[in-house]
Amino acid sequence: MLQLAALPFEITWVDSRANEFPKAVPENFTMVCHPQPHELLMNAPDAAYILILTHDHEVDFEIVSTALAMARFAYIGMIGSKTKKARFKSRFKKLGLSDVKISAMHCPIGISGISSKKPVAIAVSVVADLLTRIEI
């Protein structure tokens, strides 16, 4: 999501795989390597925008379920399909999360109507959606 570099966001990029970080990063990016990314949500500011773009559905689930349970973020978005969203919603209900809390999850992310599966198109769509949200 390096497309966020020149925009009014302070990015904390958390990954359990240090080798996934680019060698050079923009000034508004902070890289954090941590084996359990969801544990770092306690350090995120209230009203933060949480964007989940991981390589693993279980990592996604841990991050999203933790963020939803905290109920203090302005946005919780996860890359995925409508099918993934439905599966996760079912699992969240089994955890005891309310429909109100679950409804805070945005998945799929980005601007509706953009159907391209190309990574750059998805990235531009997500960035445009985030810009819209901060300007409302």
Q: Is 80 exceeded by the pLDDT of residue 47? A: yes
Q: pLDDT-derived band of residue 136, with 50, 70 and 90 as boundaries?
A: low
User: In the prediction, which pLDDT does 2 show?
Assistant: 77
* Alpha carbon distance 83, 72 (integer Å): 26
Q: Is 70 exceeded by the pLDDT of residue 31? A: yes
Yes or no: say if 15 and 21 are a contact pair by the CB < 8 Å rule.
yes
Q: Is 70 exceeded by the pLDDT of residue 60? A: yes
Considering the entire predicted model, what is its pTM? 0.93
| Strands 29-33 and 105-106, bridge-based pairing | unpaired
Closest residue by Cα to residue 95 from 72, 75, 73, 65: 65
Domains, the chain, in order of start with CATH, read: 2-135 (3.40.50.720)
- Mean of the pLDDT values across residues 22-34? 95
Yes or no: say if 18 and 33 are a contact pair by the CB < 8 Å rule.
yes
* Alpha carbon distance 133, 128 (integer Å): 9
- Mean of the pLDDT values across residues 50-67? 96
pLDDT tens-digit map of 62-103: 999 999 999 999 999 999 999 999 999 999 999 999 999 999
User: In the prediction, which pLDDT does 74 show?
Assistant: 96
On average, the pLDDT of the chain sits at 94
